[in-house]
Chains A and B, each alone.
Chain A
Amino acid sequence: MGEVTLPLFAVEEMSVQFGTPQRGVRALHGVDLRIHAGERVALVGANGCGKSTLLRVLHGLVTPTQGQVSRPVAGAQAMLFQKPYLMRMSVLANVALGLWLRGTPWQQAKAQAMAALGRVGLADLAGRNARALSGGQQQRVAMARAWALNPQVLLLDEPTASLDPHAKREVEALMHEFAVQRSGMTLIFASHNLGQVKRLASRAIYLEHGQVLADLPVDDFFSGPLLQQRYPAAHFFVKGETL
């Protein structure tokens, strides 16, 4: 008999409604999911399909209107956003802030932040004003901030969507490094870039109008006949996006 592992995230019949039922927006509806430690999960779908809301629910930033969600403790997770928020202070202080907010003394936080900046190749910019950096550099600083927190789970909301191709490659390389070098780390990311999904994910979840329409290993998602037979809407989306 195989070993049964408890999922890291368990989502049952979960719905999220913003505003009133009559005039609001139903962002997610009847979502059931299990995500285990070490998985690399990509959330794909058109704009407004609920990817970002699902990530926020998993991270605890949005409370579901209905259903159950069990997740690791907040300290075990880190999240990266499409446009990272860096405060009006030095790059080093921005990275150290994440650690300090989770209880690390400031001096120790700065030392760890410096090491994390080294990992993303920005140690020489540690003293610069974070707001003066380029978009790609700011996203790498946010990656360093997440790296320093040593999370068990990393959630990313379209982290390369607003970057130029060069910066995209750099950030994607860091995501890969995160996923590969931190063994057992769980990566959950929303992306429009199906090439990126192919390269980084082990599992793809397709959402449409707030519902999960397909949930497959990434190989089946892109090449198997399974998608076409069982999930025609997802197949149509993948075909459209790759054309």
Chain B
Amino acid sequence: MTTIPHLVLNTRMTTFSDSAATALNLITSLDAGLLTIVGRSLSVSASASAIACALGLVLGAWLGVARFAGRGVALTVLNTFLAVPSVVVGLVIYLLLSRTGPLGYLGWLFSFKAMVLAQAVLVLPVVTALTRQAVEDAQSLHGEQLQSLGAPPLLRSLLLAWDERYALLTVMIASFGRAVSEVGAVMIVGGNIDGFTRVMTTAIALETSKGDLPLALGLGLILLSVVLALNALIALLRRWRETREAGAPSAALVGVSV
């Protein structure tokens, strides 16, 4: 049997354009199922990022200033964790939370909390490593002056982190972006249960395998929009910082040009 190439292409284009149209319709009609998944996804990632940032900012700042035996090993381990695949994190958390695991008594497996924990563990090294780098750079440039004023190491690390707050805001936003876009860990520990632990990325994977491309594409578009919004936020923060440091009037912050 022979196939006619342009007909195959047309069929594919139709499938894609139909899916895109249905996806836009789902988004604009504020489909309840879609919104529930989006809301859950954002709240899981926001909670995980908040936990990771609370720990990672302090730990990273301290690592940026503290000098102790074995620091080099600690930094190597930290940098290695940056590259750990999310499915491996998911697997480890699964083993910890499974009924026979050390944290099995919590009963968190296949729950919102398990997904938050998995994403927090995944994002923590990112926040810690980037904070450590920012604070260590600041320490090498200015740490001695704070030391001469009498700031002990821990306080110095916190002051330097505060002074690098605009760079660290970018780190926080990037950590949320990493959390919201990962799929492996939440799939394993959340189980992708409809109406309970289904989030955007796991829903996209499932709906694609089922052939429900419009929903998958709709979720994909929303995920892209979230990442786009985060990038825009980072760019705005950078601009806001530059404007503040130049001592310009605040009108410039909202893009008012004369």
Contacts and interface: CB of A to CB of B under 8 A. Distances in A.
A132 B149 contact: no
A160 B148 CA distance: 19
Nearest to B148: A79
B139 to A, nearest CB: 11
A129 B245 CA distance: 7
Nearest to B138: A85
A88 interface: yes
A51 interface: no
A61 B147 contact: yes
Interface string B234-252: 0000000000111100000
Contact of A129 (B142, B165, B247): B247
A59 B245 contact: no
Contacts of A98: 149-150
Nearest to B145: A85
A102 interface: yes
B253 interface: no
Given A85-B145, A87-B159, A129 B244 contact: yes
B187 to A, nearest CB: 41
A74 interface: yes
Nearest to A103: B150
A9 interface: no
Given A87-B163, A88-B163, A132 B245 contact: yes
A145 B147 CA distance: 14
A61 B149 CA distance: 11
Contacts of A61: 144, 147-148
B155 to A, nearest CB: 8
A97 B148 CA distance: 12
A97 B160 CA distance: 13
A215 B109 CA distance: 75
A66 B165 CA distance: 40
Interface in A70-124: 74-75, 78-79, 81, 84-85, 87-88, 97-98, 101-102
B151 interface: yes
B31 to A, nearest CB: 44
Contacts of A56: 144
Given A85-B142, A88-B163, A88-B165, A59 B244 contact: no
B162 to A, nearest CB: 8
A131 interface: yes
Interface in A32-82: 56, 59, 61, 74-75, 78-79, 81
A230 interface: no
A195 B117 CA distance: 65
Contact of A102 (B146, B150, B159, B162): B150
A101 B149 contact: yes
A182 interface: no
A84 to B, nearest CB: 7
Interface in B10-65: none
A182 B159 CA distance: 31
A61 to B, nearest CB: 6
A129 B165 CA distance: 15
Contacts of B165: 88
A160 B197 CA distance: 63
A74 B151 CA distance: 11
Contacts of B246: 132
A85 B245 CA distance: 14
Contact of A74 (B150, B162, B245): B150
Nearest to B162: A87
A169 interface: no
Nearest to B245: A131
Contacts of B149: 97-98, 101-102, 145
Contacts of A145: 149
15 contacts: A61-B147, A74-B150, A79-B145, A85-B141, A85-B142, A87-B162, A88-B163, A88-B165, A88-B166, A88-B244, A88-B245, A129-B245, A129-B247, A131-B245, A145-B149
Given A88-B163, A88-B165, A101-B146, 20 more contacts: A59-B148, A61-B144, A61-B148, A74-B150, A79-B145, A81-B144, A81-B145, A81-B148, A85-B142, A85-B145, A87-B162, A87-B163, A88-B166, A101-B150, A101-B155, A102-B150, A128-B247, A129-B247, A131-B247, A132-B246
List of 6 A-B pairs having minimum Cβ-Cβ separation, nearest first: A132-B247, A85-B142, A85-B145, A101-B150, A79-B148, A87-B163
Interface of A: 56, 59, 61, 74-75, 78-79, 81, 84-85, 87-88, 97-98, 101-102, 128-129, 131-132, 145
